[in-house]
Structure 1
Amino acid sequence: MKNSPTRRQFLGTAAALVSGVAVGSNKLFGAPAIIRSLDKPNSLIDGVQIGVITYSFRDMPDQSAEATLQYVLDSGINAIELMGGPAESFAGAPKNTVDMRSVFPLMRKRSAKQELTDDEKKQLDEAEAQMKAYRAELTKWRLSAPMDKFEQVRKLYNQAGVKIYAFKPDAFGMQSSDGEINYGMKAAKLLGANQVTLEHPSNDAHTLRLGKLAEKNGIRVAYHGHEQQTPTFWDTALAQSPANAINFDLGHYVAAGNPDPLIFLKEKHNRIASMHMKDRQTAEHGKGNLPWGQGDTPIKQVLKLMHEQKYTFPAVVELEYKVPEGSTSVAEVRKCVNFCRNALS
């Protein structure tokens, strides 16, 4: 008797079916039966939707849409904020030749104002030059991208039991044309997302522009913050457009020395589209990014508040602490999900 297909084999088959490679029409012959036999994840815990941003899996060697879905399934999560790379590569975007796994640590080191060695500076400068050329090529591709491919990604993920609630391509910068911004918002809707996310640009004209374009596209723009977050950080953007929203970062907010985050959540919950979670220390304790339960961030209290108040925005795992030797980012995300289950039990 033959063994049943593994999840990875299933995903390859499903991707072929969805993209029309395995069948000669747009109908997904055979796929529903395969998919129904797969155990689907469920991270809606006691009314609180636990999600993950796929940036959490940035250290994994395969960043394709299919592999990313596998990481999500193995983490036991059914709702995600999808980074641009997996979806755009599925749609045929030009390949990024920069190894971002080696570049991300250098970028974080520089943003933390830690001194880089001469070799690190050279590596980062060369990578950024390559990235500039790549972005120009990617921008050109986006203006004529095959949009039906994003719908195919949505079907692939949905049939495996995963909903894409947010999309985060780097298409919403101040230098982006309206055409590129509209592309990103339309792709998000085809993926099934109700929001696009980006770092807050700290530019009022740009948040106004994005808000108005989001209104036309029928989607929200959720702005993410780091240690520049304050209780009033998003106020101007929120006043500019009902489509502007908050992508709150609980850990960074605590590390920045702000007042009790539960107060902020109670006051702003109706404008929060999603919330990133990590366990950071306060400034007094060094601002470290630690395994959950070891830092100063009140993750348990926040999750209980969300349950009690029936807040519906996703509480999102963003893995940023150092993955222990012998573990993987997938295993660590799974630990974070279990932390949430225990907090809500």
Structure 2
Amino acid sequence: MDPRNNSNIHDIISRRRFLGGVAALGATAMIGRQAWAADAAPAGGKPNSVFGGVAIGINTYSYRSSGIDTAEQTLKALIENGLSEVELKDGPIRAFGVLPPAVKKETKGDLLAPKPTPEELAKLRAGLLAKAAELRKLYNDAGVNIHIHKVPFGKSDDDINFNFEMAKALGCKAITTERSDTVAKALAPFAEKHKIYVAFHNHTNNIPTVDTLDPLLDYGKYIAFNFDIGHYVAGSKGKSPLAVIEKYHDRIVSLHLKDRTPDGGNVAWGQGKTPIKEVLQLLKKEKWPIHADIELEYKIPAGSTSVAEVGKCVAYCREALA
């Protein structure tokens, strides 16, 4: 696992960085954040993207091409798109101070610096969880629910446990990660302990099985799917994802919505073969509590932005569920 992207606090924090981090936590400008949130709120009130009983959200990866990096910038985009649900990736979470900055290259001196003591580490974790609670409040006050986070897991049991504690502090029902039987086996006891789902995301080469029970689910009842319906269409050469949703609806925490072609193309919604409308109508009909999260993958047209294109996807969902 790439240490630049994980939350392994033991590995990436020296004592000097720890002391600096604690000082930074104490200097948070809470009043400024509250004022910003008030300014960003839509004139008509808080956003609401629950259409026909189906919670439409977004994976914040969708905003990657527009320079939207911080938690505040992300929240502003969510409000502009009228989205009240979000799968929050680690970039905005780190930028807010819930996690230490990602490590790219340590100096020799940093590598030789003493590791935090257990007492220092406990204090740091408490401070980070307090920041997570602050981030949750910022989003909730603006009308946005963080239903999932996607922060890669660290290597140690303590770091894995912290990831679940962070999910609780953010108000998440699940943590998403990439599909891996080895990882599922390792995480299942932690998921059971915390009653937080680990929802595994599929690509085109590891789609859920339909003819037999998918073996991933054998590892524990809190092991679930983050089912990408576009990847399923591309990976199955055009099969409908409806059968997968019907089979595993009680083990699917969320969907990733995108339109793809059977030969693997990523296209604007309505131009491919992914039955997004039919999927959403199935969720509405059955009243299954599955989050449906937009994941913008197609090339943004010249003159447009990711926020504008997400707005088109939101409108597509609203119309499909009308």
Structure 2 vs 1, CA of residues 313 and 160 (structure 1 numbering), >3 Å: closer, same or farther?
same
User: What does 1:215-230 correspond to in 2, within 5 Å?
Assistant: 215-227=192-204, 228-230=206-208
What is the root-mean-square deviation of aligned Cα atoms in Å? 3.2
CA contact (8 A) 1:225 1:248 kept: yes
Q: Which amino acid aligns with 1:249?
A: D
Map of 2:150 onto structure 1: 168
CA contact (8 A) 1:56 1:319 kept: yes
Aligned to 1:52: 58
Partner Cα separation in structure 2 for residue 229 and residue 193 of structure 1 = 24
Does 2:176 correspond to 1:197?
Answer: yes
**Residues 38 and 160 in structure 1, CA contact (< 8 A), matched pair in contact too:** no
| Match of residue 10 from structure 1 | none
C-alpha displacement of 1:278: 0.4
Q: Note the C-alpha offset of 1:202.
A: 3.9
Q: What are the ranges of 5 or more consecutive residues in structure 2 without an aligned counterpart?
A: 1-27
Provide the secondary structure at the position in 1 that maps to 2:31.
Answer: coil
Give per-residue Cα distances to partners, 1:247-269, cap 9 Å, x unaligned: 00000000012643111111110
CA contact (8 A) 1:226 1:252 kept: yes
Matched, 1:304 2:281: yes
CA distance in 2, matches of 1:142, 1:249: 37
Q: 2:161 aligns with which of 182, 188, 195?
A: 182
1:261 aligned partner, one-letter code: P
Is 1:22 equivalent to 2:31 in the alignment?
yes
The alpha carbon displacement at 1:22 in A equals 2.9
SS of 1:58 mapped into structure 2 = helix
Q: Which amino acid aligns with 2:278?
A: Q
Kindly tell me the number of residue pairs found equivalent between the two proteins.
Answer: 281
Match of 2:138 among 125, 143, 156: 156
Distance apart, 1:20 and its partner CA: 5.6
Does the CA-based 8 Å contact 1:142-1:183 persist in structure 2?
Answer: no
When residues 238 and 97 of structure 1 are mapped into structure 2, their CA distance, relative to the original with a 3 A threshold, is: closer
Write the distance in 2 (CA, Å) between the matches of 1:309 and 1:332.
29
* CA–CA distance in structure 1, aligned partners of residues 296 and 89 of structure 2: 14
Seq. identity, %: 40
- 1:177/1:38 Cα in 2 relative to 1: closer, same or farther (>3 Å)? farther
Q: Give matches, 1:40-189, under 5 Å.
A: 40-91=46-97, 93-96=99-102, 144-145=124-125, 146=127, 147-171=129-153, 176-189=155-168
SS in 2 for 1:22: helix
Pair 1:257–1:184, CA change in 2 (3 A): same
Structure 1 residue 214: Cα displacement: 1.0
Q: Does 1:260 align with 2:240?
A: yes
Q: Which of 291, 295, 301 is residue 268 of structure 2 equivalent to? A: 291
TM-score, normalised via structure 2 length:
0.79
**Cα distance in structure 2, aligned partners of 1:301 and 1:49:** 15
Q: Specify the alignment match of 2:309 in structure 1.
A: 332
What per-residue deviation string (whole Å, max 9, x for no partner) do you get for residues 213-262 of structure 1? 11112211000010121325982231211111110000000001264311
Match among 282, 300, 304 for residue 323 of structure 1: 300
User: One-letter code of the match for 2:51?
Assistant: I
Is 1:91–1:149's contact at 8 Å kept on the other side of the alignment?
yes
Distance 1:77 1:185 in 2: 25
* Structure 1: unaligned runs, 5 residues or longer: 1-18, 99-129
- Alignment deviations for residues 26-48 of structure 1 (CA, whole Å, 9 cap, x no partner): xx89x889969762111100111
Q: 1:249·1:275 contact (CA, 8 Å) conserved in 2?
A: yes
**Dislocated runs of 4+, deviation >6 Å:** 31-38, 139-143
Residue of structure 2 in register with 1:39 after alignment: 45
